[in-house]
Structure 1
Amino acid sequence: MTHLHTILAGIALAGFLGAAGPAPQPTDVVAQVGTTTLTVADVQAMLAHIDPAVRDQALHNHVALDELVRGQLIRQELLVEAEAKKWDQDADVAYRAKTAHDAAIVDSYLASLNQPDASYPSDADVQAAYEANKTRFVKPREYHLAQIVFTVPADAPKSADTEAQKKLRELKQTLSRPHADFADTAKHVSQDKATAEKGGEIGWVRDDQLIPAIKDAVAGLQDNAISDPVRAADGWHLLKLLDTKPATTATLVEVKDKLVQALRQQKESANARAYLQQMQTKQPLELNEIALSHVAAP
């Protein structure tokens, strides 16, 4: 369990997420570094050509959209810098660029030839895939946690480590008394600023997202109980279990879209393999093994 730092900056992309205000124009600049800019039209073009799942996440998550735009802007700025130094004229770079260009054409052409029928998969296909993979759709147990943290670096003197643990043990005893206020205490004494401001609240955390030491500490707690002090990389943590959600299996409705996408991708791959096999049957590939052996000769 580490401190909950959030590193975000101010690229204003609210127009993509339906924020109030005038409709953005295609030429409006949404991000800039140096002389390199990205307009609304640039970002829309980028979103139109990326993986649909990534696009959907970006359009429904401001942070994800920010990260995509930042990454694209940095690549654009690097491209300007590289071209100014004529890096694109290097023979090795030019060959790799040509290879990537050709691969994009071939891959998209092959995909266009082997798209599954629009009716695939059927409801029966989806149901069968769901039943066959049900164990993969288990949603882990979740814990609603709050914490008080005493920061102790890993390389701190042993005395500092021991003192922090002792103070948290004493604090646990105090907080176990009737009417003790964990949230108010966290606001005043916790050294993790991000959670202290919220009364120590971390929020809901999945079982598989917890480090082993904290997972073990909270697994046996009753709701509203407080753990013994737990050592993590950043220091000692005192944890309060606010609520628990048991492990459940996602319903077919919840995973249907992902299943349909996976089945269509599998079908497309199978169609592509069959197409390539048929192509090689019609037009057998010929290899000159003697000439080829000279390639690897010392």
Structure 2
Amino acid sequence: MTYRIFTLALLAGTLYAAVASPAMAQTRNPPQPAAPRATPAPAAPAAAQPAPATQDNAAVKGGEIIARVGDSEVTAEEVRATIQLLEARQQAAMARDPALLSQTVRAILANRLVLKEAAAKKWDQQPAVVTQLARARDTLIVETYLQSVTAVGDSYPSEADVKGVYEANASAFLVPRRFRLAQILVNLAKDADKAAEDTARKKLDDIVRKIKQPGAEFGAIAKASSEDTASAGRDGEIGWVAEPDLRTEIRGQVTGLPKSGITDPIRLEDGWHILKLIDTEASHTRPLADVREALVQRMRAERVEANRRAYVAELLKQTPPVVNEIALSRLLESRSDAKPDAAPSR
């Protein structure tokens, strides 16, 4: 369960928008590791108070006051603790852009203001809030306890383990064959009228005639005639494309071309495509050195998840649960009956 420092600010969206820039929002939610995670319960206001910093600066003491709003102060230690709750990628982004650190402190101060106002209005005593606080507390206890009893030691995985998994899953690290291509496009919609089709066909025939002339330069023709505005300025080059990403109609011609070979015109939905094969990169398996870090993280995450399942299964084995299935089914039926009738279809 990952607690975020922006809980209250997110609940008060306009307030957060005033203290956190889009750049900060982008660094807050990077792609997560592959390991499954339990869905956290709604965060409690009390837990929303941030804490902490990332870089150990000898000049900044833990108790030194970093910021103040009203009678509430934020210390260096609190900022440091807050940053340590962020994902590694978020911390790296903050290290690259010091402005993000200032935004983090401002978000902490904003949370403090909201929390103070909510406390003054005894918001934490609202029945719904009390219920959510209790659930958040239970979830936090469960998650942190499970993390402590299912943690994986630093020695796992061993180099032999990593190598074994890499070799057993070599196909997962296979990079398919790639083609470096250039193209000339003559636009023609599928539902084009005869006049437009005749015009496009005339232009296409003229391009094919130029390409077949001795010494013809495909790039020059593409720059002068291609209607693909994205690639025409680059002599028609569209870059590297993996074989599985090629349209079937294109793949059938490109895979049989020699280097610098040119396809016949290929009709697709947007018009006629003529492609040139500039270069080919054979398929290959990414070396272990390139994937080792990601592989280790995945293995550790999977081991933690396996430990978690085994631990919970053992608890359930020691104290088997009893479920009243009949009462449960009645509960589901009552919930179904309580739903409003669906709107009539039109």
TM-score normalized with structure 1 length: 0.65
The CA deviation string for residues 32-67 of structure 1, in whole angstroms up to 9 with x for no partner, is: x9868527666555558787689989x99xxxxxxx
Q: For 1:160-175, list aligned pairs within 5 A.
A: 160-161=196-197, 163-165=199-201, 167-175=203-211
Change (3 A) 1:37 1:293: closer
- The one-letter amino acid of 1:194's match is A
Aligned residue number for residue 117 of structure 2? none
The CA deviation string for residues 141-164 of structure 1, in whole angstroms up to 9 with x for no partner, is: 111111111111232125634653
Runs of 5+ consecutive residues of structure 1 not aligned to the other structure: 1-32, 61-94
2:155 is the alignment partner of 1:119:
yes
3-state SS, counterpart of residue 204 of structure 2: helix
3-state SS, counterpart of residue 21 of structure 2: strand
Q: Which has the larger radius of gyration?
A: 2
Aligned residue number for residue 179 of structure 1? 215
3-state SS, counterpart of residue 239 of structure 1: strand
CA displacement at 1:283 relative to structure 2:
3.2
CA–CA separation in structure 2 for the residues paired with 1:112 and 1:280: 19
Aligned residue number for residue 174 of structure 2? 138
Q: Which has the higher contact order (CA 8 A, sep 6+)?
A: 1
CA displacement at 1:261 relative to structure 2:
1.9
Aligned residue number for residue 38 of structure 1? 21
CA–CA separation in structure 1 for the residues paired with 2:168 and 2:177: 22
Change (3 A) 1:45 1:121: same
2:186 is the alignment partner of 1:150:
yes
Contact 2:27 2:89 in 1 (8 A): no
Change (3 A) 1:51 1:156: farther
2:248 is the alignment partner of 1:212:
yes
Change (3 A) 1:118 1:228: same
CA–CA separation in structure 2 for the residues paired with 1:171 and 1:96: 69
Contact 2:183 2:276 in 1 (8 A): yes
CA–CA separation in structure 1 for the residues paired with 2:88 and 2:277: 37
3-state SS, counterpart of residue 153 of structure 2: coil
3-state SS, counterpart of residue 226 of structure 1: coil
How many aligned positions are there? 235
The CA deviation string for residues 181-222 of structure 1, in whole angstroms up to 9 with x for no partner, is: 211111111111110111111011111111111111211111
Change (3 A) 1:150 1:266: same
Residue in structure 2 matching 1:196, options 219, 232, 235:
232
Runs of 5+ consecutive residues of structure 2 not aligned to the other structure: 1-15, 31-83, 97-130, 335-346
Contact 1:143 1:206 in 2 (8 A): yes
3-state SS, counterpart of residue 160 of structure 1: helix
Aligned residue number for residue 221 of structure 1? 257
CA–CA separation in structure 2 for the residues paired with 1:289 and 1:211: 52
Change (3 A) 1:167 1:124: same
CA–CA separation in structure 2 for the residues paired with 1:273 and 1:100: 22
3-state SS, counterpart of residue 149 of structure 1: strand
CA–CA separation in structure 1 for the residues paired with 2:133 and 2:247: 42
CA displacement at 1:169 relative to structure 2:
4.3
Aligned residue number for residue 76 of structure 1? none
CA–CA separation in structure 2 for the residues paired with 1:140 and 1:204: 12
CA displacement at 1:289 relative to structure 2:
3.7
The CA deviation string for residues 200-259 of structure 1, in whole angstroms up to 9 with x for no partner, is: 110111111111111112111111111101122321111111111111122222222222
Identical positions, percent? 37
- The one-letter amino acid of 2:303's match is K
* More displaced 10-residue stretch of structure 1: 179-188 or 167-176: 167-176
